[in-house]
Homo-oligomer: A and B are copies of this chain.
């Protein structure tokens, strides 16, 4: 995929306290083609920030289908509850996202704010309130004054236009240091079908869900049921396979909007799981979600290293994933990587604490292609200098073979640095 060279339309539009671009950031925001039936407008509503866009309106043509997955938190935000209540309708005409305030743990005022926002958007777009989807991100526990932006939505609805993907991605940022976008184009029935996605998230990132917010858009003609099926399959290996700090947001939301505009070019609607054309669509959706999920990790608060954890030889895929997440969430493993220390003893510790079947004397561990441990002890051929060199890389892969079965899993995380503490010890004050 093409990535624009370093030039950015805007200076990084955050920030609570740092404007330092993550060292793991991609070279630039990718080129996202227009999608027929998707139009954006952004505005400065002054919700928390000054002099930055913090309100995004997306408007969809009639017939747009929608699917979504949400945080598993038992204390979800008001917008998450709103979306959950409406997702089964399957149709969407508008999406309103604000940054600066999560509208989470705001009691009845929170529900009122979502209702008011949805009404204002429905009036502006001329649709049912149930066709309006909402997301909010930022501080938890502060009442969201929807009056600050309800009036703006009318003006914004009059100004929406195709394109503007980077501006949209920037508008939803909080502690992010770069805007996150991804795109794939596939062929269905001889026509180009586009899948674009944007995401935000840098901390409070752990399954399930992993990102705080991500929105995917496609012109594929596909029913909401099939869309939900595809999203459910893709999420496990993407947003539910990343972790920054093991903390799970009250607001995590992934929504996929399918305008169906490609039908005008003769593409038949996909409305059955058995449809063979789904295969390519699913693969492209997987790629977009994995790309965005990895970008969230690359923007992990304070991150200096991108870590891939691969576990194979486990008794099952589920067991492998639990072990992989135990490694990826271990503060001691993450600080060792920050210190460029090939400390496989801490990997053993994390395998052991996962509570999954493990036989110490069958374990093997690699950093990159360097096998550091084999059959329950240090590899006889282990070369400490080579391992130390490897750990200096920006991207580090830790691989564990459990030696028990065929279950495997892969997750992504980042290291734990003093900058994580600096960012989070001061976020709200």
Known interface pairs A107-B375, A356-B74, A418-B422. Does A245 touch B341 (Cβ–Cβ under 8 Å)?
no
The closest CB in chain B to the CB of A342 belongs to B428
Partner of A355, one of B72, B206, B416, B422: B72
Partner of A343, one of B206, B373, B428: B428
In this assembly, does A246 line the interface, its C-beta being within 8 Å of a C-beta of chain B? Answer: yes
Partner of A360, one of B105, B350, B351, B361: B105
Interface residues of A in 391-426 (CB under 8 A from B): 416-418, 420-422, 424-426
Partner of A373, one of B74, B105, B249, B421: B105
A248 touches B352 (CB 8 A): yes
Tell me the bound Cα distance from A249 to B332 in angstroms: 11
Known interface pairs A75-B348, A105-B345, A421-B417. Does A353 touch B206 (Cβ–Cβ under 8 Å)?
yes
Interface size of A by CB at 8 A reads 73
Interface residues of A in 351-391 (CB under 8 A from B): 351-358, 360-361, 363, 373, 375-378
CB distance from A43 to the nearest CB of B (A): 25
In this assembly, does A349 line the interface, its C-beta being within 8 Å of a C-beta of chain B? Answer: yes
Cβ contacts under 8 Å, A189 to chain B: none
Most buried by B among A76, A141, A417: A141
The closest CB in chain B to the CB of A372 belongs to B141
In this assembly, does A226 line the interface, its C-beta being within 8 Å of a C-beta of chain B? Answer: no
Copies in the complex: 2
Cβ contacts under 8 Å, A348 to chain B: 75, 104-105, 140-141, 250
Cβ contacts under 8 Å, A126 to chain B: none
In this assembly, does A37 line the interface, its C-beta being within 8 Å of a C-beta of chain B? Answer: no
Q: Which residues of A are at the interface with B, using a C-beta cutoff of 8 A?
A: 71-76, 102, 104-110, 139-143, 203-204, 206, 245-250, 329-332, 335-336, 338-341, 343-346, 348-358, 360-361, 363, 373, 375-378, 416-418, 420-422, 424-429
